[in-house]
Structures are given as structure tokens and as C-alpha cells.
Structure 1
Amino acid sequence: MLSTEFLLTSLVVVLIPGTGVLYTISTGLFLGLRASLFAAIGCTFGIFPSMLASILGLSVILHTSALAFQVVKFAGVAYLLYLAWGMWKHTSGLALTQGGQGRSMFDLAFKGFLINILNPKLTLFFLAFLPQFVPETTTTPMTHMLVLGLVFMGMTLGVFVLYGLLANGFRRHVLGSPRVAKYMQRSFAATFALLGAKLALAER
């Protein structure tokens, strides 16, 4: 059921840096390993609604309805800009070193969840991606797509956890210098803003 082509293609897709990767890395750098794990889990679970919508055919609505697509798209844009602004506001070294204390892990996971669920391109991606690896001879295409989607989610979680581990490894170097920490956080904030602008200009 799982072809080598599917596994390799999925790995390449997952490794490509996007908003989820950026969020997980920034969380690992500034809030630590545990926080990055929750961020990775949130981003991964944010894939599930898009995957399920694709399997059930609901993503056709986004593809055919300009209004539905625009509503979801600009909700995603607003959220990315919100994250960028929040990160830009807190650029002191003290805020970074103490930011993980009292920070709800559920809140971090939920933010990661929203990043993916508010990206209409993700739903359309699954609609185009998964059917390519469903054998024509199968009698249960929906089940086959569900298995493929769950494997994709598992690979996403594994890669994102790895990104979080690597980010946490560099954490002491970043937090050891308030200037570097401030520069890094503002760089992440600017990148989130650019990703929001890119999504705003995206077409179906």
C-alpha cells in the first residue's frame, strides 16, 4: 500500500520549510524543547482537517468557490500577521529567556494547529497529492487515502520534532547573547509577515 515513491515524495514535501517548520523552530529556539514538541504536535494535527476534507471531497468547495477560498485565505493571512506582530513586540532578551515559564503548552500547540488549518492551499495540496498514489485497482480508495494521509502526518511529526531538537540545540547560543536573540526573533517575525503577504497574493 505504501510505495517507495510516496514515501520519498512525502519526505521531500515535509522537509521543505514552511510556516509550520518556521513556527516549530522559533518555538524551540526561544521556549525550549518541550515547547517545540507541542508546537510540532499542533502543526501536525492541523493537517488532519485539510486531509479529511480532501478525502471527503469537501476541498472541491474551496477550489470552485472564490468566496470560500478568499475567506479562509485572508483568515490565514490575518493569523500570520498576528503571530509576526506578537513576536516583534517581545524582542528583549529577558522576554525570550523567561517566555516559556507559565506559557501554556496547549496554547502553543493550538497556535500551530491554526497555522495549518487556516491555509487553504494545504487542502488543495492533499486533493492533488493523495489520489496520485491510490492504485486504480483498489476497491477502497477512501481508506487507502486515509492511510496515506496518516502516514504523511506521522512523517510530518517526526521531521518537525527533529527540527525542534536541532533548534533547542542552538538555544543556548541564541539566548546567551541578547543582541543575537533580538535579531533572531525579529527575523522570524519578518518571515511570518512575508509568508502572510505571500499567502495574500496566492491564487487558487
Structure 2
Amino acid sequence: MDAQLIAFTGVAASMVAMPGADFTVVVRNALVSRRAGVACALGIAAGLLIHTALAVAGVAAVLVAVPALFRAMQLLGGAYVLYLGVRTLWSLRGPRTVVAEGTGAGAGTGAGTRALRQGFVTNALNPKASLTFLGLLPQFVPEGGAVLPRTLMMALIVVVLALLWFPAVALLVDRLGRWLRRPRTARAVQTVTGTVLAVLGAALLLGPWRAA
């Protein structure tokens, strides 16, 4: 592995590990069950695969050339993240015992499917990810080198990092599950994750209006 690829791996790892909507959604689902947390993590990795494929193909450049398309995707992504945050906060209106129900490794496949979809949609509807990769990947392609193989390798590195990081987060949350799922602690965590998701979603929704 050459120096540029090592540097890219470090930068990409920092980007993947940066707390944001993806991280928060994984934590939220991992509190439901280990299966849901890991499924959500896999959904995020699948969303990243879409973004890196777009960047490699150059299609993401359309988002730069057509601002209206970028704003539309930003609004969709923001609305979805805001919806997840509001729904999380709304669920706290129930009895204290509700937040602890349905947890553990044995939760049904339905929760896993929903979590997989949530992870994928949360990541896939974030156009900033495509723009980030579009601007990042070319910086680590040696001058005169083969562009396609190089960018494909870097895209694969990003997806592998996501497959390592987000399931690890889900498993860590599940490992701490007995403490995190205590009614009082679970409600506090849900309040924090719901608030973070709502704020991130609102920020994404307000972005296009500020730019207008």
C-alpha cells in the first residue's frame, strides 16, 4: 500500500467515524436489539456503496452542476432524518417500560428489516456524502495513474471501513445493553438520539433555504 493510499485510509476512517446521523441511527437501533443495530450498520454500508459508486462513475458531478437536484435530495434526506428524530422523541410519551420492550439479541426479523432500511435510506439520501467522495477521491489519485482502478480501490476501502466501524458501534451498544436499557438510562439515550436526529434533519432542511 503506497503512502497516498495510507493517507486516504486515515482520512476516510475519520470521515466514517465522525458522529452524525449514521452514528445516531445505529445507536438508536442497537438499543432495540443487536440484530437491529447490525442490520442498520449494514444498511449504512450499502448506502455508502451507492455514494462511492456514483463518485467513481462521475455521476455525482450532476449534483454540483444542477443545484436544484442537490437541494431536492437534501430536503428528502433532511425530512427523513427529522422524521426519525421526531418519531424517537414521540415514543417517549409512553410508559417507562415501553423503551425496554423488544430488546435483546432475539428480536424478530421485522425489526432487522426496518433497521436495514433506515440505515440505507439515512445514508443514501444524504447528497453531501456523494459530493464529499467526489471531491476527496481525486486528491489521492497519482498524476498519470489509472483513475478507475484507483478510485474503485478507494471506494472499497470506504465501504470496508463502514462495515468494520458501524457494526462495532452496534455491538458495543448491545454489550452495554443491560445498563443502557434500564428504563431511566434508555429514555435518556433515546432523548439524546432523537434530539440529535431532529436537529440534524432540521439543519439539512434549512440548508437549501439559506443557500437560496
Q: TM-score, normalised by structure 1?
A: 0.91
Aligned to 1:193: 198
In the alignment, structure 1 residue 15 sits paired with structure 2 residue 17: yes
Q: 1:174 aligns with which of 171, 180, 184?
A: 180
Q: 1:184 aligns with which of 177, 181, 189?
A: 189
Q: Residue 87 of structure 1 contacts residue 185 of structure 1 at CA under 8 Å; is this kept in 2?
A: yes
Aligned to 2:90: 89
Aligned partner letter, 2:167: V
Aligned partner letter, 2:157: V
Aligned to 2:33: 32
Q: Residue 44 of structure 2 contacts residue 119 of structure 2 at CA under 8 Å; is this kept in 1?
A: yes
Two-structure CA RMSD over aligned residues (Å) = 1.7
Q: 1:162 aligns with which of 155, 159, 168?
A: 168
Q: What is the correspondence of 1:19-98 to structure 2 with a 5 Å cutoff?
A: 19-28=21-30, 30-91=31-92, 92-98=95-101
Aligned to 2:152: 146
Provide runs of 4+ in structure 1 moved above 6 Å.
none
1:93 Cα shift? 3.7
Aligned to 1:135: 142
When structure 1 is superposed on structure 2, of 93-102 and 158-167 the one drifting more is 93-102
In structure 2, how many angstroms separate the alpha carbons of the residues matched to 1:202 and 1:122?
15
1:53 Cα shift? 1.3
Aligned partner letter, 1:150: L
What residue ranges of structure 2 are gaps of 5+ in the alignment? none
Q: 1:119 aligns with which of 116, 126, 138?
A: 126
Aligned partner letter, 2:137: L
What residue ranges of structure 1 are gaps of 5+ in the alignment? none
In structure 1, how many angstroms separate the alpha carbons of the residues matched to 2:16 and 2:48?
12
